Structure 1
Amino acid sequence: MRVHHHRNLPGVFAGRGSRIYDRTARTLLRGLYARIADDLVDVLPDGADVLDVGTGPGVLLTELARRRPDLHLVGVDLSADMVSAAQRNLSEFGGRATAQQGDVVDLPFAAGAFDLVVSSFSSHHWDDPAAAVPELARVLRPGGRLYVYDFGFAPFDVITETARSRGVFGSSPVRTSRIRTGVLCPRRCTRQVLTA
């Protein structure tokens, strides 16, 4: 198993950096989030509760809200500035799309609160991906799915091994594949799907 190195860069997602990332995500990376939303939209049950971990400025939630008005969408992020940006970007959807501050290893939600948890290009920032795995499983309903999209160097092996060793996400085999992103850089990313 590859060792996951701490890659959390909180300064990048605060102050001026958060404003730059918000603008970049809503413009240059919008196609990436649209591609991920297209990947998810048909697997979500009617009226699903969805959690986006590491939501940043909430662009993925915006894309999902536009495609499926029946969804209840929640974003969580470590950065207070990113949460503020997400709240601004999601305001057009009223109470069905919200964001709040939180940590992937201590999510502020009840057990079994979500039908699907997604993380897009966030897992490589997690300080302790092994501690995140059981927490992500905890907030999913039985049969719920975790979708992780990230660069190839993200801690996919840590997620898989922790899920196996802790006995979580054992309903179906872990599925890992490469998909096109819809943007020039990165052209492809890794998608990992685990079922609670």
Structure 2
Amino acid sequence: MPHVFEGRGSRLYNFVSRRVLRRMYRRLARDIAAAAPQGAAVLDVGTGPGVLLQELARLRPDLRLTGVDLSADMVANATRNLAAHDNATAQVGDVTALPFPDDSFDLVVSSFSSHHWDHPEAAVPELARVLRPSGRVRVYDFRFAPFDQLATTAGERGLFTAEPPRRDPVPTGVPFFRRCTRLVLAA
């Protein structure tokens, strides 16, 4: 885990996420809110300071939102940021060993986290394990993120076979990077 997500770096990232990148998180939240079933349990992997969950909680109070992040400092920021939302929590956890029972979530999302994953191929079976049947994974990240590795691993292991993996550009609303890529995997 990069040290930027610990101590002073985590406080700076929290500030930037809440102030500079808020518009992007609002756009992603609208995209996710439109895809989430009524009353869905949603997991945000690499939640950071929980800004995406804040926006989702505002848009869809019916959702049960959980964030997980490797950094205890980020989880502390997320916990503070989510304090006003009783349908959202955050905890420490690793995408390759998620601390949840099988079939826990209807939708798993990740925003700008997958390019930090040390072992994206090990994340795929974990994402499939915690996802309920007919659930979806939506990964938003930079073009250079390990999308091919995620999709290839899913295909090789016979996971997420309900539909072919789909990759689409998504506008961010942020001038210095106008688009990100969204990968959708369907269980």
TM bin, normalised by shorter chain, reads: over 0.9
Shift of 1:186: 1.5
Quick check: 1:36 aligned with 2:28? yes
Shift of 1:45: 1.0
Candidates 50, 55, 79, aligned match of 2:47? 55
Shift of 1:138: 0.5
CA distance in 2, matches of 1:177, 1:45: 21
CA distance in 1, matches of 2:140, 2:130: 19
Candidates 92, 107, 110, aligned match of 2:84? 92
CA distance in 1, matches of 2:74, 2:141: 19
Unaligned runs of at least 5 residues, structure 2: none
Instruction: Indicate the residue corresponding to 1:123 in structure 2.
Output: 114
Q: Aligned with 1:158: secondary structure? A: helix
CA distance in 1, matches of 2:35, 2:123: 23
Quick check: 1:80 aligned with 2:72? yes
Quick check: 1:161 aligned with 2:152? yes
Shift of 1:185: 2.3
CA distance in 1, matches of 2:149, 2:76: 31
CA-to-aligned-CA distance 1:61-108 (integer Å, 9 cap, x gap): 0000000111100000000000000000000012x1000000000000
CA distance in 2, matches of 1:185, 1:40: 22
Instruction: Indicate the residue corresponding to 1:16 in structure 2.
Output: 8
Which AA in structure 1 matches 2:22?
Answer: R
Q: CA RMSD in A?
A: 0.6
Q: State the aligned residue count.
A: 187
Quick check: 1:174 aligned with 2:165? yes
CA distance in 2, matches of 1:81, 1:152: 27
Instruction: Indicate the residue corresponding to 2:101 in structure 1.
Output: 110
Shift of 1:40: 1.1
Quick check: 1:70 aligned with 2:62? yes
Shift of 1:12: 0.6
Candidates 132, 145, 164, aligned match of 1:141? 132
Instruction: Indicate the residue corresponding to 1:3 in structure 2.
Output: none
Q: Moved runs in structure 1, 4+ residues, more than 6 A?
A: none
- Give the fraction of aligned pairs with identical amino acids, expressed as a percent: 63
